[in-house]
Structure 1
Amino acid sequence: MNHCLSLRITWKVCLACLLVTSTAQAGELAETYEAMQENGYSFTGNVTQFGFGVVGGGNDSLPDSLLYSGHGDYLLNVDASKFGLQDGLFFRLRAEHRFGEQLDPANTGSVMPPTIASHLPAETENLYITNLVVTQALSENFALFMGKFDTLDGDRNDFAHGRGVSQFSNLALVTNPAAIVGSPYSSLGAGFAILHDYEPLFVFTIMNPTDTTRTSGFDELFNNGALLTAGLRVPTNFFGKRGHQSFTALYSTQYFSELVPDPRATISKSGKPVTVTLTNKQEGTYAFLYNFDQYLYSDRQGRGFGLFGRVGVGDQSVNPLRLFLSAGIGGHNMLSRSRRNDSFGAGYYYLDATKDASLLTDIATATSEGLRDGQGLELYYNFNICSFMDLTFDYQLIGSASDSSYFEDPTSILGARLNIRL
């Protein structure tokens, strides 16, 4: 296979099925590609800092204080052919850690973190390897991959993704939470990708359903079933503008006897994560996800703005979320030539809670509060300060899914995010 062609193929595969650098802008992707082509490896990273606080509503018995937190993300890509190994063979390593103090769910009423990046990869501040993946491109239309990888980037969207560091901050507008019960944040797995015109078209994975962010994962490998995921992402050209239509189905054979705390979405009591013991234990669960992005305007450099939306359907017998909806607008500032690298977003989400009486009772027993439908709004504007630094101002209005008298009124959250690219 032609070396440059194989590099281009595998780079596209890494973006889609290894779930990594979809947050980068086109120029940054080009720089990374050129670095790999010249040196055989590239290193990128982000250190993101958050200053967020409750400014209205919330729990009146708790102070509306400003809290500082952050997240570090370090990514290494290696082209093995540059070191005398197999053509089309690539390695990818990602390490993450978090630090600081996050907003208390007892004050925000949110079951999903308003700043998801500051909660990942785990509840401790240790550095963890969340991706260690080997990819082999067999042709310009087919590639295999295996290793340990995270699932945060599995629901890519041009305007509502960014791993919580470059676009929206709230998990509900970064990915589709309907899949969280069935899929771990990071674990071992393998799969293949089919490409069309160097873009990922279909990706299939089999993955260990047990989260092994903090371990190698080999001791737990498939001890509790398997997670099967199939995703189709079709490029579109409606009205002469680029976009994507995505469809994903996942099925887990895991045996569910309880719902354990997860940094991506947590059921809590007095702000502390709790385990929900299930009365009706069940083997297996499923979720169906739909996702679209559609540009309304774009320039020759690929910058522009457009619409996005997501729909998620969960198995309400074990999933507290039976239906998820989100929609909004986002992209670059195309009104000012001098601020074209700035970006913005406005998004709304709705959480339709399970109507399964047994699961609702189990949640109420564990939390002493219960669960109801929730919704939220997030607005952000991202100032591109220089080539390696962005400053984002963010506002969120959360209608709590916690069935508590503390959250009869929506909670207002205001904050700033500073992202430094390494």
Structure 2
Amino acid sequence: MNHCLAFKIVVRACLACLLFASTAQAGGWGETYESMQENGYSFTGNLTQFGFGVVGGGNEYEDDSLLYSGHGDYLLNVDASQFGLQEGLFFRLRAEHRFGEQLNPENTGSVMPPTIASHLPAETENLYITNLVVTQALSENFALFMGKFDTLDGDRNDFAHGRGVSQFSNLALVTNPAAIVASPYSSLGAGFAILHDHEPLFVFTVMNPTDTTRTSGFDELFNDGVLLTAGLRVPTHFFGKLGHQSFTALYSTQHFSELVPDPRASLSGPGQDVTIDLTNEQNGTYAFLYNFDQYLCRDRQGRGFGLFGRVGVGDQSVNPMRLFLSAGIGGHNMLSRSRRNDSFGAGYYYLDATKDEALLADIARDAEPLRDGQGLELYYNFNICSFMDLTFDYQLIDSVADLNVFDDPTSILGARLNIRL
């Protein structure tokens, strides 16, 4: 293998590992690679707007109003070798902001936001840097990385990921929420990746367990312990079709004396910073995650549809969610040749709430009483042109709030417009 070809393989492998969620477009990381070949850098972005409202059920004392919100995501990738620096050295910078008004959990009864992108990266509308990562590929099978990065890119799934802007909108069908208590949204860390056939096979990270979305993170670095994460994603070919089986384990040494507000999940309304003081303080927590995707149909361009599922197990003494399950179908419209770039999804999730009496009492004291919950999301995404998609979305949520006002499931209807920059 000549030097040029070997280096191209290293570049593709490194980008596949770290940039798989950099764009909503199918095959987006490949386009990123081509752009970096020509210019040494690439810029991608998404401006996503949501119009969602409760159309039935929900809290009978809250208005069923339509709310407008949105999210901006801007990502820059740089190949340092193109500028005379080290070969295999890459830089990644992501900045995010949100705007508008989101649906209130006091109305929907949902712990997890129906439009997760509009809640990130923080409760304010300021622009924050959530990724600033340096990566050094040492070979076509091994890469090191360090810096500030967000955890939404983890738990990759071909049919249920998309950062809430290209596939499902509800957090429960974008990632595995069982890891939220142990894992911050954005913080400093480092790790390595082992790759196979240009795809990440095993990724290990050491991360600061404290969320530092709004700061550089250096002042808080490892003050509250350390978060260790190990993830394995194995490609499969059941029935002659591509699929993946993923296993992730998280362990945090952080001391838990309280549960702090998090934009990814809330037991109270947006902007209501309710901290839940724990009666039984605890050192350390864990989570175990599993997910799979399996294509049922796939063309030569990589478009297709298939099945997906997730299982998450949390430490119920500090995690309000002891078990999480989700499953569904999603992918591209393979029935119409003229609409192959359209996509769809149908997913169901179930949340088994903690049965720890002390934690339940703590939650009921500071927020709404908690019970098991479930939900359904259906969407169809129209590809209007090369840079724009319009998605129609319906969600049915059985509230986790143990209140009589949520006896009837909440129906949510909305539209999402995503513009790729």
TM-score range, shorter chain: over 0.9
SS in 2 for 1:283: strand
What TM-score do you get using the length of structure 2 for normalisation? 0.97
1:391 counterpart residue number: 390
Provide the secondary structure at the position in 2 that maps to 1:210: coil
Asked whether the equivalents of residues 23 and 29 of structure 2 are also in contact (C-alpha less than 8 Å), the reply is: no
Q: 2:51 corresponds to which residue?
A: 51
For residues 188 and 296 of structure 2, what CA distance do their matches in structure 1 show? 38
Verify: 1:408 aligned to 2:407, yes or no.
Answer: yes
Map residues 32-43 of structure 1 onto 2, 5 A cutoff.
32-43=32-43
Residue 104 of structure 1: how far off its partner (Å)? 1.0
Cα distance in 2 between the residues matched to 1:308 and 1:74: 28
After the TM superposition, which residues 225-374 of structure 1 pair with which residues of structure 2 at under 5 Å, given as runs? 225-268=225-268, 272-367=272-367, 369-374=368-373
CA pair 38-269 structure 1, distance change in 2 beyond 3 A: closer
CA distance 1:22–1:252, change in 2 (3 Å) = farther
Deviation at 1:63, TM superposition (A): 1.1
Counterpart for residue 378 of structure 1: 377
Aligned to 1:147: 147
The RMSD of aligned alpha carbons is 1.4
**Could you tell me whether the CA contact under 8 Å between 2:155 and 2:175 is conserved in 1?**
yes
1:104 aligns with 2:84: no
Mapping for residues 93-242 of structure 1, pairs under 5 Å: 93-242=93-242
Q: In 1, distance between residues paired with 2:403 and 2:15?
A: 43
Please list the CA deviations of residues 141-166 of structure 1 after superposition, one character each: whole Å capped at 9, or x if unmatched.
11000000000011000000000000
User: SS of 2:153's equivalent?
Assistant: helix
Alpha-carbon distance in structure 2 between the residues aligned to 1:63 and 1:416:
19
Q: What residue in structure 1 maps to residue 14 of structure 2? A: 13
User: In structure 2, do the counterparts of structure 1 residues 7 and 127 end up closer, same or farther at CA, with 3 Å as the change threshold?
Assistant: farther
Q: How many pairs align?
A: 420
Alignment partners' CA distance in 1, 2:226 and 2:50: 36
Query: Counterpart of 2:311 in 1: which secondary structure?
Result: strand
Partner secondary structure for residue 363 of structure 1: helix
Give how far 1:221 is off.
Answer: 0.1
Contact 2:16 2:198 in 1 (8 A): no
Deviation, structure 1 residue 381? 0.0
Alpha-carbon offset, residue 285 of structure 1: 0.2
Equivalent pair of 1:192/1:205 in contact (CA under 8 Å): yes
CA apart distance, 1:8: 4.0
Tell me: CA distance 1:396–1:77, structure 2 relative to 1, closer, same or farther (3 Å).
same
Task: Output the CA distance in 2 between the equivalents of 1:215 and 1:271.
Answer: 19
Is residue 16–residue 199 contact of structure 2 (8 Å, CA) maintained in 1?
no
Letter in 1 for 2:406: F
Residue of structure 2 in register with 1:420 after alignment: 419
**Contact persistence 2:104–2:270 (CA under 8 A):** no
SS class of match (1:154):
coil
**Structure 1-normalised TM-score?**
0.97
Q: In 2 relative to 1, CA 14–404 (structure 1 residues): closer, same or farther, beyond 3 Å?
A: farther
1:79, 1:73 → 2: CA distance?
Answer: 20
- Counterpart amino acid of 1:395? Y
Does the CA-based 8 Å contact 1:59-1:106 persist in structure 2?
A: yes
Counterparts in 2 of 1:330 and 1:418: CA distance versus 1, 3 Å = same
- Confirm or deny: 8 A CA contact 1:113 1:264 kept in the other structure: yes
| Contiguous gaps of at least 5 residues in structure 1 | none
Identity rate, percent: 83
- The offset of 1:42, in angstroms, is 0.2
Measured in 2, the distance between the counterparts of 1:106 and 1:242 equals 41
Q: State the distance in 1 between where 2:55 and 2:416 align.
A: 16
> Following TM superposition, where does structure 1 have runs of at least 4 consecutive aligned residues deviating by more than 6 angstroms?
none
